[in-house]
Every structure is written in structure tokens, then in C-alpha cells.
Amino acid sequence: MLYCVEMDVAIPHGLDPDHVATLKAEERARAQDLQSQGKWRHLWRVAGRYANISVFDVESHDELHDILSGLPLFPFMTMRVTPLARHPSALG
């Protein structure tokens, strides 16, 4: 199942910078691991914002929820999830 996930990150001001750096490093490692597994198919930065648009390929809504809620930066994210279906005019 494919999902488009829009993620906006809002890390609170005053959070310990070392803790933030650790969370960002953990987030990067987790994202790269999920990409290697083929579950996080596309990851695009939104220019001018601390945000991304991603495409996930997972088995179920529950699997997607588990992945998203397990991200290190999840407590600081607002997400919008859109299930995707193949368009009949798509070439690929």
C-alpha cells in the first residue's frame, strides 16, 4: 500500500541542543534504514520549510502508523497522510 505523508517539524525553542542533535542523527539513521528496506520509497525536502513529503510502501495502515510514531522526531511533527492508488493514465 502506498501513502503520501507530509511531515512538518516544529522543535520547541529552548530544547537542549545536544539532545536535538542526537534526535536528528537518530532520525536520519532510521529514515535511511527504512529507505534501504524499500518502505520509505521517496523523501523530498519542502524548500523553505523544515518539512518533507514522502512516499511509503507498507503492508497496512497499522504498519505505517508504527513506522511514523516510532520516528525519533515524531513528538515534534504534524503529519498529513494520504493513501495512494494507481492512476489509470500513469505510464509506470
The total domain count for the chain is: 1
In a domain, 29, yes or no: yes
CB 1 within 8 A of CB 58: yes
Please state the pTM of the whole predicted model: 0.92
In a domain, 36, yes or no: yes
In a domain, 59, yes or no: yes
Q: How far is 60 from 39, CA to CA, in rounded Å? A: 11
The model's pLDDT over 4-60, given as tens digits with 9 standing for 90+, comes to: 999 999 999 999 999 999 999 999 999 999 999 999 999 999 999 999 999 999 999
Q: What is the pLDDT of residue 34?
A: 98
Where in the sequence is the domain holding 74, given as residue range(s)? Answer: 2-84
What's 13's domain CATH number?
3.30.70.1060
Residue 50: CB partners within 8 Å, gap ≥ 6? Answer: 8, 9, 10, 11
In a domain, 62, yes or no: yes
Q: 3-state DSSP call for residue 11?
A: coil
In a domain, 32, yes or no: yes
Q: How confident is the model at residue 92 (pLDDT cuts 50, 70, 90)?
A: confident
CB 16 within 8 A of CB 35: no
